Amino acid sequence: MKTVVLIEDDQFLQELYKELVGSSFILEIFGDGLSGKERLLKGGWDLALVDLTLPALSGIQVLEAVHKLKNKGKLVVLTNSEDPALITLAKKNSDEILIKSKIDPNEFVAKIQSLF
């Protein structure tokens, strides 16, 4: 089974994503950027879903630290921000950008499954 690491501080979204993909993948959830980054740096994951607005470290800082790794899984940004500068930074260090407010649950699941 594939391992998905979710780094998201919103508990409602943590539960929603757990419900949507938790039965199809091993899902590990972290509520802040620092602990999420530490987990990703250990390796052994296939996909990381990273919110950009996080406590402790921003999603951009997490992406920059992990993007340089060899043998890493795919990095997907979850955000509601449409700030062009932030999106440009996120695109540089990730494989995909998903705008949380513009993707319905079925599309989200299909997108995650298509990344494998």
How open is the CA angle 6-12-16, to the nearest 5 degrees? 60
Q: Order of strands across the sheet with 74-79?
A: 26-30, 3-7, 47-51, 74-79, 96-99
Provide the number of structural domains found in the chain.
1
Name the residue range of residue 30's domain.
3-11+23-83+90-103
Residue 72's pLDDT is: 84
CATH no. for residue 69? 3.40.50.2300
pLDDT tens readout for residues 12-30:
999 999 999 888 899 999 9
pLDDT tens readout for residues 28-64:
999 999 999 999 999 999 999 999 999 999 999 999 9
The answer as to whether 78 is a domain residue is: yes
The answer as to whether 108 is a domain residue is: no
pTM for the model: 0.93
What's the rounded mean pLDDT across residues 66-73?
84
Above 90 in pLDDT, residue 116?
no
The answer as to whether 54 is a domain residue is: yes
The answer as to whether 17 is a domain residue is: no
CA distances, 41 to each of 9, 36, 38 (Å): 19, 9, 5
Residue 23's pLDDT is: 87
